[in-house]
Structure 1
Amino acid sequence: MHEIYDMIIVGGGPAGLAAGIYGSRSRLKTAILQKGKPGGQAATTQDLENYPGFSRGTTGPALMEAMTEHAKSFGTEIIREEVADLELDGEIKIVKGKSGHEYRAKTVILAPGAEPRSLNIKGERLLRGKGVSYCATCDADFFEELDVVVVGNGDAAVEEAMYLTKFAETVTIIVIHDEGILDCNKASAEIAFANPKIKWIWNSVLNEIKGDGLVESIVIKNIRTGALSEMETNGVFFFVGTIPKTEMLKGKVILNEQGYIVTNDLMETSIPGVYGAGDARVKYLRQVITAASDGAIAAVTAEKYLAEEEGFKERVLQAQEPVLVVFWAPQIEESITAVSELEKIVSALEGKVKLVKIDTYRNQRVAQRYGITQIPSAVIFRQGEMVDRISCCCKKELWKKVNSL
């Protein structure tokens, strides 16, 4: 028989590790499925200076190792497994690994991450984190009063280039188009053209990145003449888009046009009990700190979901006797009166009917499932099925219907 986890987390980057910490600390049986060593993109970032609490900086690998040990200390299982497929619609979710193993869980947090789109330029991968960067917010201050190059000319590239000018001595943008033509919006283009720190190389592409341990120079190819030229620089920033690692999620949860997971503020996806977190989610800022925040929110939301679902199942759906469920809210005075009246009725029936009070603020999902739009509302369940609704404002109807049980 398969072991059933309370929570399975797909992906062991900052989002997945934070979710593991929060899940395990809540006494949920939690596992992280991670293809390789935990850490995600953050584990490839050599210097990390903007994570709160590390004013003098730390390294990405060191922070990710600390987060991994933190999760393990609370009991999170970290399983080296690449996910091949998922079945998410049922009450018990099934995650299938490429090893052939199947993992079952009551909730799933999807945190597969994203990766910068690579141009596979010679030297790009070798010097990543050593002068090659994909994030100005993360790394701009390492290049104070130095010269850097930007690859890309869309909105993100030009906006990030302008941010870099706050730190760098010069920012050179390599553009594949003819002079004056950019892919970004006109307003950003006008501001960039007016910035004295930004320089332009037109009709060109980056051909190679050179350096012995750190970026030292680049080779530029003119697409019209084919001529190659070498230029000294201290850093190369790529802004040609990111790719979410969500190929396996197509048709499983709702994704946007770019393939990012669509969630609400509680990290809930389109499937009950399934959550999205981290860089693979539709969001404004993709940083280690926001990924960790997503993971924490997703785990807490999943824990509340389990408490709500399992509590309702145990108290109502699995009850042998008829159950009178009153949906109420403490801030609504009418519902407090209704609860008091129902308690009197059920007490008078001496155990023939069970009364369960559902606070709709804490149990919104259950209320929505049964179409509860008015507070207070009362519903009768028998053998796990909803069989009747009662008007809480009519005492005669309350007595008559409850007595008939």
Structure 2
Amino acid sequence: MRQVVVVGTGPAGLTAAIYLARANLSPLVIEGNEPGGQLTLTTEVENFPGFPDGIMGPELMENMRKQAEKFGAEFVRGWVQKVDLSGDVFRLQVDGTGELQTKSLIISTGASARMLGIPGETENIGRGVSTCATCDGFFFRGKRIIVVGGGDSAMEEANFLTKFASEVRIVHRRSELRASKIMQDRARNNPNITWSLDCTPIEVISQCSRVTGLKVHHNETGLEEILETDGIFVAIGHKPNTSFLDGQIETDDLGYIVVKPGTTETNIPGVFACGDVQDHKFRQAITAAGSGCMAALECEHYLENSSLHDRSVV
């Protein structure tokens, strides 16, 4: 029987583990197949406080993990296949470990960026391919950038990137955009944005470990073209990693966990959610870490009250 189990090891989960471990709660942290979350796919991180010269994403995550271990957090590698949140004790089925039982649970499984699934994309993440304009836009000052997508996120990222790039081109596989009218108008009225609509991306082109172009298929003519660029921002949405919960926790229409305003509390007492799995607005390492701190403090308070209640019943 565990006091608390943390599922996920991004900035949110690791921050929660640090606080819980320092509170002598000996948290068990379950690492998925990609320990460290999306930051392990990032090269240099320049906007995390305390690192004036920046820090590599994998190094930042490894440091946070070591800090949690130093205070007594325990880590196991595995994938949570099933959970039972119906009783006072929560049960988790973890491949390679078996059943775990815990009095409280912190979910920090994050959200995965939807990718195009084309050749050259995955191997160039961090080398010119990005899924976060706020994180990586600064590195493309004076460069040519392509934003792939047709929704509000793509329009927002394109507008943001014009602060840095010499040219921003929006590529979308349809002739019409899915973005709201106000977001479309902002993008269309921005003189630094050009358009390649009705174009399907088919390959990321790179040379010497850096992106040099995006090959597209013109749907109307059937012709192929390489659009020269220094960076490609994929903005086709994110998918929260909540499928393993099997509908036992309240989520919104997009699948993000719903928490009580101003807290990390879910609709099930003793279950808390932090990081990108409950945040589809900011999706930053620092905000995820902050919510991980909140989850740990609220979890600690929950366990203290549960202990007092158990003693009063006895």
**TM-score between both structures, scaled by the size of structure 2:** 0.96
Aligned Cα RMSD in Å?
1.2
Unaligned runs of 5+ in 2: none
Q: Which whole-Å CA distance do the structure 1 matches of 2:155 and 2:226 have between them?
A: 23
Q: Which whole-Å CA distance do the structure 1 matches of 2:280 and 2:272 have between them?
A: 14
Query: Given the alignment of the two structures, is residue 220 of structure 1 paired with residue 220 of structure 2, yes or no?
Result: no
Deviation at 1:59, TM superposition (A): 0.8
Runs of 4+ in 1 over 6 A off after TM superposition: none
Deviation at 1:37, TM superposition (A): 5.2
Name whichever of 83-92 and 161-170 sits farther off.
83-92
Deviation at 1:183, TM superposition (A): 1.7
Unaligned runs of 5+ in 1: 319-405
Asked if the contact 2:78–2:97 (Cα under 8 Å) also holds between the matched residues in 1, the reply is no
Query: In structure 2, what is the equivalent of residue 101 of structure 1?
Result: 98
Query: In structure 2, what is the equivalent of residue 156 of structure 1?
Result: 153
Deviation at 1:9, TM superposition (A): 0.4
Deviation at 1:96, TM superposition (A): 0.9
Query: Given the alignment of the two structures, is residue 232 of structure 1 paired with residue 214 of structure 2, yes or no?
Result: no
Question: 1:215 is paired with a residue of what secondary structure?
Answer: strand
Asked if the contact 1:276–1:298 (Cα under 8 Å) also holds between the matched residues in 2, the reply is yes
**Within-5 A mapping of 1:323-362:** none
Q: Which whole-Å CA distance do the structure 2 matches of 1:36 and 1:23 have between them?
A: 23
Query: Given the alignment of the two structures, is residue 295 of structure 1 paired with residue 302 of structure 2, yes or no?
Result: no
Query: In structure 2, what is the equivalent of residue 332 of structure 1?
Result: none
Q: 1:192 aligns with which of 179, 187, 196?
A: 187
**Within-5 A mapping of 1:33-52:** 33-36=30-33, 38-52=35-49
Q: 1:242 aligns with which of 230, 238, 242?
A: 238
Q: Which whole-Å CA distance do the structure 2 matches of 1:70 and 1:228 have between them?
A: 50
Amino acid at match of 1:115: S
Asked if the contact 1:131–1:236 (Cα under 8 Å) also holds between the matched residues in 2, the reply is yes
Paired residues, number: 312
Name whichever of 125-134 and 249-258 sits farther off.
249-258
Taking structure 1 as reference, are residues 152 and 37 closer, same or farther at Cα in structure 2, changes over 3 Å only? closer
Query: In structure 2, what is the equivalent of residue 17 of structure 1?
Result: 14
Asked if the contact 1:159–1:188 (Cα under 8 Å) also holds between the matched residues in 2, the reply is yes
**Within-5 A mapping of 1:81-230:** 81-99=78-96, 101-178=98-175, 181-212=176-207, 213-230=209-226
Amino acid at match of 2:197: W
Q: Which whole-Å CA distance do the structure 2 matches of 1:202 and 1:299 have between them?
A: 46
Question: 1:216 is paired with a residue of what secondary structure?
Answer: strand
Query: In structure 2, what is the equivalent of residue 251 of structure 1?
Result: 247
Deviation at 1:229, TM superposition (A): 0.8
Deviation per residue, 1:48-104 (Å, 9 max, x gap): 111011122111001000000000000000101111111122222111112251111
Name whichever of 278-287 and 8-17 sits farther off.
278-287
Deviation at 1:214, TM superposition (A): 1.0
